[in-house]
Structure 1
Amino acid sequence: MFVILLTLLAYLLVGLMIGIGVWHVWLRTTVGKFQSDETMTGKTVLITGGNSGLGLETVRDLARRGARIIMASRKIDVGMKVRDEIIEETGNKNIIVRKLDLSSFQSVRDFSSEILKTEKKIDVLIHNSGCASTSKKRKSVDGLEMTMATNHYGPFLLTHLLIDLLKESTPCRILIVSSAYYKIARVDLNNLNPLDTFPFYLYYVTKTANIMFGLELAKRLKNSNITVNFINPGMCSTAIFKKVPFPLNLLVKYSFKNAKEGAQTTIMCSVSKLLQNKSGKYFSDCRETSLMNFVKDDVKNKKFWEESIKIVQLKSTDPQI
């Protein structure tokens, strides 16, 4: 009996290794790469979460293309250090850092006010920043669940406050970094401040929220010459997965995309002239792909939008979309 069990275990391990190997090959062979040499000279890009990971690689690439970049950073000291490193690497000195904590409505308002005072245009707005917690439940300063506040409500308010400047900057682009993980989560319209929900699941919920918000935004901005698109960077070995336990951490390290590979679709959607008139689309591995039907419900997306306006406490004097 013992020999049989060992044999079965050996078969299971071999099968698992083969499965991981096949998955690894599939992941590596489907990585998209943006190979265009198009420049961004004269363009201003505002990106959240540019201090590390996908955002950092996006900033690095766009800086090389000559873009003027505004890095919205929660940790201003880290942002300044990253800025100096990128200036040294690329020779592009047109990189500035502004403080922004997306989990705080006041911080979003302060940041937006500064941008409106100092900037004449924004050609590309990239909602890249995101947070995920494995188990610790946290509230924002506004009493909202932290993941929802940072990944959805902050960007939602920021977009509203900057919309007039964006309209003055047309043609321009709004990009929202989401994830294929949206497929496994649903936004509960009856519980839009889910303080008691498992935090890591809420990361997936916010990726669904990103797309619901983006689809409604694209609909409202139709014919405005502002495009809105969503990005799936793929499975990337970034800070989101830094606490994954052994041996899964090995799978993340050796099979997932690195940050540079994960940033390729964001870079393409920021730069490519071929996407000038594309809006309300979902891109993955530098290709347009389809969305699941459940996330394209116009009635639910409109309701989510209306409830989000209430939660972010948008004022009648604020810009409207």
Structure 2
Amino acid sequence: MTSLHGKTTIITGGNAGIGKETAIDFARRGARVIIGCRNPKKATEAVKEIQRRSGSSNVIFIPLELSDQDSVRKFAETVLKQESRIHYLINNAGIGKAAKGHRTKEGYNMVFAVNHFGHFLLSMLLLDKIKDSAPSRIVNVSSNRHRLVKPGDLYFSQKDEEGRIYPGLREYNRSKLANVLFSKELARRLEGSGVTTYCVHPGIILSSMFATYREATRIPIILYWKLIIRYWLVGSNERAGAQTTIYCTLEESITHLSGRYFDNCRVAKESELARDDGLAKKLWDVSCQATGLCL
């Protein structure tokens, strides 16, 4: 029953999947909702749907390409100019796979850049405004697949023999571990500021991410549909997948649990690597370097 009248929330990837369901929920509660995504046509259509389903006209779109740091900076600049407060930042957007060898213009792995570096940069650029709006929250959407990363998989060498930059910072599972580590370290640095942060596993969701996965991998159509059927049988719908994000944004009783990992609207145990404070601090420093932020 929580009302969000007078609150402003930003949702990356709010044009589709659990991001759109989150946007609809917040708009119904009276929040001003800003969705950031890269495709203007899809975003415009999504804004109309969110407005129609929520009954609120206070929903807008600002272009955001998380793999492009210039785009992230432009998005943040636009938001900071036009918004007096930011109460909630939902780092929701993500991709599961990119075409082999597809890297950002900075030379970073595309999946890791979208899922972690882009959100790290966005959060840091908006952080002063979020602090000024306290009590406020940052919610990072991760995955239980962070558990599949083994010790030594996430490493911070700047280049390998093939010239790849940060070769240990790549692909989906490692990016999702990065989301958990980022939440932990961010919570430590924000202690006492009035800003809390949480990391969530949305569950097994049959979402629009599978379309990009098919496009990127070009797996045989039979295998693709087997995967879809499997997720359909054991997974949840997108509205259900948004509930843990919504819970961690609104629930008043969890303010003392900043930095924790949530699954199915309750605290869950992260992997052993995700509890490594030294790894979290190192990732923070490398993320600052990769995004051009001062340490």
Q: 1:259 to 1:139 in 2, by over 3 A?
A: same
Q: 1:235 to 1:124 in 2, by over 3 A?
A: same
Following TM superposition, by how much is the alpha carbon of 1:296 offset from its aligned partner in structure 2, in angstroms?
A: 1.4
The within-5 A match list for 1:98-109 is: 98-109=62-73
Q: Higher mean Cα deviation, 120-129 or 85-94?
A: 85-94
- Identity in percent: 35
Taking structure 1 as the reference length, the TM-score comes to: 0.82
Would you say the 8 A contact 2:196–2:258 is kept in 1?
yes
Q: 1:253 to 1:198 in 2, by over 3 A?
A: farther
Taking structure 2 as the reference length, the TM-score comes to: 0.89
SS in 1 for 2:257: coil
CA distance in 2, matches of 1:246, 1:105: 34
SS in 1 for 2:225: coil
SS in 1 for 2:193: coil
CA distance in 1, matches of 2:48, 2:112: 31
Following TM superposition, by how much is the alpha carbon of 1:61 offset from its aligned partner in structure 2, in angstroms?
A: 1.1
Would you say the 8 A contact 2:95–2:111 is kept in 1?
yes
Per-residue CA shift, 1:248-270, capped at 9, x if unaligned? 32111222111111111001111
CA distance in 2, matches of 1:49, 1:162: 17
The within-5 A match list for 1:112-123 is: 112-123=76-87
Following TM superposition, by how much is the alpha carbon of 1:126 offset from its aligned partner in structure 2, in angstroms?
A: 0.4
Query: Which residue number in structure 2 is paired with residue 309 of structure 1?
Result: 288
Would you say the 8 A contact 1:137–1:195 is kept in 2?
no
Alignment of 1:257 onto 2:236: yes
The within-5 A match list for 1:102-141 is: 102-133=66-97, 136-141=100-105
The within-5 A match list for 1:149-164 is: 149-164=113-128
User: What stretches of structure 1 of length at least 5 have no aligned partner?
Assistant: 1-36
Would you say the 8 A contact 1:139–1:195 is kept in 2?
no
Following TM superposition, by how much is the alpha carbon of 1:109 offset from its aligned partner in structure 2, in angstroms?
A: 0.8
Would you say the 8 A contact 2:115–2:175 is kept in 1?
yes
Amino acid at match of 2:209: I
Q: Higher mean Cα deviation, 265-274 or 98-107?
A: 265-274
Alignment of 1:220 onto 2:189: yes
Query: Which residue number in structure 2 is paired with residue 208 of structure 1?
Result: 177
CA distance in 1, matches of 2:74, 2:210: 31
Q: 1:196 to 1:252 in 2, by over 3 A?
A: farther
Query: Which residue number in structure 2 is paired with residue 143 of structure 1?
Result: 107
The within-5 A match list for 1:1-321 is: 37-133=1-97, 136-185=100-149, 186-190=153-157, 202-242=171-211, 243=214, 245-314=224-293, 316=294
CA distance in 2, matches of 1:132, 1:293: 23
Q: 1:196 to 1:306 in 2, by over 3 A?
A: closer
SS in 1 for 2:224: coil
The CA RMSD over aligned residues, in Å, is: 2.1
Amino acid at match of 1:109: R
Q: 1:289 to 1:235 in 2, by over 3 A?
A: same
CA distance in 2, matches of 1:271, 1:50: 18
Would you say the 8 A contact 2:109–2:171 is kept in 1?
no
CA distance in 2, matches of 1:252, 1:195: 34
CA distance in 2, matches of 1:218, 1:44: 21
Would you say the 8 A contact 1:148–1:206 is kept in 2?
yes
Per-residue CA shift, 1:78-135, capped at 9, x if unaligned? 1111111121222111111101111011101111111111111111100000012165
Q: Higher mean Cα deviation, 235-244 or 52-61?
A: 235-244
